[in-house]
Amino acid sequence: NNIIEIDEVVKEFNDNKVILPLSLSIYSGEFLTILGPSGCGKTTLLRMIAGFEEPSSGVIKLNGGVVNNLPPYKRDMNLVFQHYALFPHMNVEKNIQFGLKMKGISLAEQKTRAEEAMKLTQLTEFRNRKPHQLSGGQQQRVAIARAIVNNPKVLLLDEPLGALDFKLRKDLQRELKNLQRELGITFIYVTHDQEEAMSMSDRIVVMNNGKIEQIGTPKEIYQNPASKFVASFIGENNYFHKDDQLIAVRPENIKISQSPVGKHKGIIKDIEFVGTLNKIYIEIKGEENTVIVYQMPDQSNLSRNEEVYIHWKLEDEVIM
Ligand code: ADP
Ligand code: MG
């Protein structure tokens, strides 16, 4: 049930390998997110899937057939970017119909399909507006509507919400997730924002330096990071050396005690109130990194420069 198979794909630009041998199976109908820091090769990978770049070696299959050098328009996919280019002189409805018109689809069908796409993206009431009369979020909805009106099998989205402010981004994340559920098509979503990836995806592919670090559900990746890179990139983590091993403990799993418990004694350096949680920074003797602990504010009667002990349950340790 794999719609896309990527097998040992490499991409070089002028002898510079930006994708190292990379293999990945993408399931039909899933919301898959490619997550990683800027420059790790996310866009390059997406552009190869879409057909705008050809792999230097390796194979990309779509529905079982090799598509390495099949042009984008023959792939039944659509790509949405952060910097969408809408036609400034056309209203919302015409912008959405345009691609269908170019394909020679009848005006009646153009209208029916644009109607449906506007409904799905909550644009119906703005149908007669020109792009400059829309907010950033509404413009991005038009870009998405323009892509889904083609009924693609796969929708590729390259940091589509990157230019929007926090609140709008949160709203559109939920809308996109709902849209994907409703349409049942495969979404391949690129972001460098781990929170965005965690909240939207069925599976996440964590990339670093042209390679896959881990593939898994948000929960698997959070609870069982496969490498220190993943453990630090997805949420926050604390590291401790124990019996020649490096272990990671999440900030919400560390308990603070004002009376002596265990062997980690420290000093509270800072307490920050971050929304629903207090974030407490503790310096531990003999450990080089400051430990971060999350606590519910109402549990907390701690103060700066106080001496405390930290401990955690064995089951909350992850060995790196
Ligand atoms: P990301 O999307 O994760 O930020 P990119 O895929 O855009 O990363 O880029 C990965 C690396 O490939 C970067 O070092 C970038 O400079 C390089 N790169 C991307 N496209 C080209 C190109 N057309 N020519 C040369 N180098 C490129
Ligand atoms: Mg990119």
Q: Measured from the CB, is residue 38 less than 6 Å from ligand 1? A: yes
Q: Measured from the CB, is residue 192 less than 6 Å from ligand 1? A: no
Tell me the mean pLDDT in the region 234-255: 92
Q: Measured from the CB, is residue 20 less than 6 Å from ligand 1? A: no
Q: Measured from the CB, is residue 13 less than 6 Å from ligand 1? A: yes
Distance 44 CA to ligand 2 centre (A): 7
Q: Choose which residue among 13, 20, 40 to substitute to test ligand 1 binding: the one with the highest number of ligand atoms within 8 A of its C-beta.
A: 13
| Local confidence band at 64 (pLDDT 50, 70, 90 cut-offs) | very high
Q: Which among 211, 320, 309, 197 has a CA at the least distance from the CA of 254?
A: 309
Alpha helices in the chain (DSSP H): 42-50, 92-102, 107-120, 136-148, 166-183, 194-200, 218-223, 228-233
Q: Measured from the CB, is residue 40 less than 6 Å from ligand 1? A: yes
Rounded distance, CA 297 to CA 184, Å? 41
Instruction: Enumerate residues 6+ apart whose C-beta is below 8 A from 302.
Output: 256, 258, 268, 271, 280, 308
State which residues have CB under 5 angstroms from ligand 2, the bound ion: 43
Per-residue pLDDT, 200: 95
What is the C-alpha R_g of the chain? 24
Tell me: pLDDT of 68 over 80.
Answer: yes
Is 222 within 8 Å of 234 (Cβ atoms)?
Answer: yes
Rounded distance, CA 207 to CA 227, Å? 11
pTM of the model: 0.90
Per-residue pLDDT, 285: 83
Q: Average pLDDT of the chain?
A: 93
Residue 32 backbone dihedrals phi, psi, to 5 degrees: -105, 130
DSSP 3-state of 5: strand
Neighbours of 241 (CB within 10 A): 11
Tell me: pLDDT of 216 over 80.
Answer: yes
Is 234 within 8 Å of 213 (Cβ atoms)?
Answer: no
Q: Measured from the CB, is residue 37 less than 6 Å from ligand 1? A: no
Amino acid 319 reads I
| Local confidence band at 320 (pLDDT 50, 70, 90 cut-offs) | confident
Tokens matching residue 166 = 């926090």
In this structure, of 97-101, 108-112, 160-164, 220-224, the range with the lowest mean pLDDT score is: 160-164
Closest protein CA for atom 13 of ligand 1: 39
Rounded distance, CA 189 to CA 31, Å? 7
Q: Which among 75, 37, 42, 71 has a CA at the least distance from the CA of 54?
A: 71
Rounded distance, CA 207 to CA 129, Å? 40
Is the confidence metric ipTM above 0.90 for this complex?
yes
Q: What is the pLDDT of residues 277-315, one digit of tens each?
A: 899 999 998 778 899 999 988 776 899 999 999 999 999
| In the chain, % of residues over pLDDT 70 | 99
Tell me the mean pLDDT in the region 131-147: 92
Q: Which domains does the chain have, with CATH numbers?
A: 2-228 (3.40.50.300), 240-319 (2.40.50.100)
Per-residue pLDDT, 74: 92
Per-residue pLDDT, 85: 81
Q: What is the pLDDT of residues 168-196, one digit of tens each?
A: 889 889 989 999 999 999 999 999 999 99
Eight-class DSSP state of 290: P
Tell me: pLDDT of 260 over 90.
Answer: yes
Q: Which among 123, 318, 154, 148 has a CA at the least distance from the CA of 239?
A: 318
Distance 167 CA to ligand 2 centre (A): 22
Rounded distance, CA 182 to CA 57, Å? 36
Per-residue pLDDT, 207: 98
Eight-class DSSP state of 44: H
Tell me: pLDDT of 82 over 80.
Answer: no
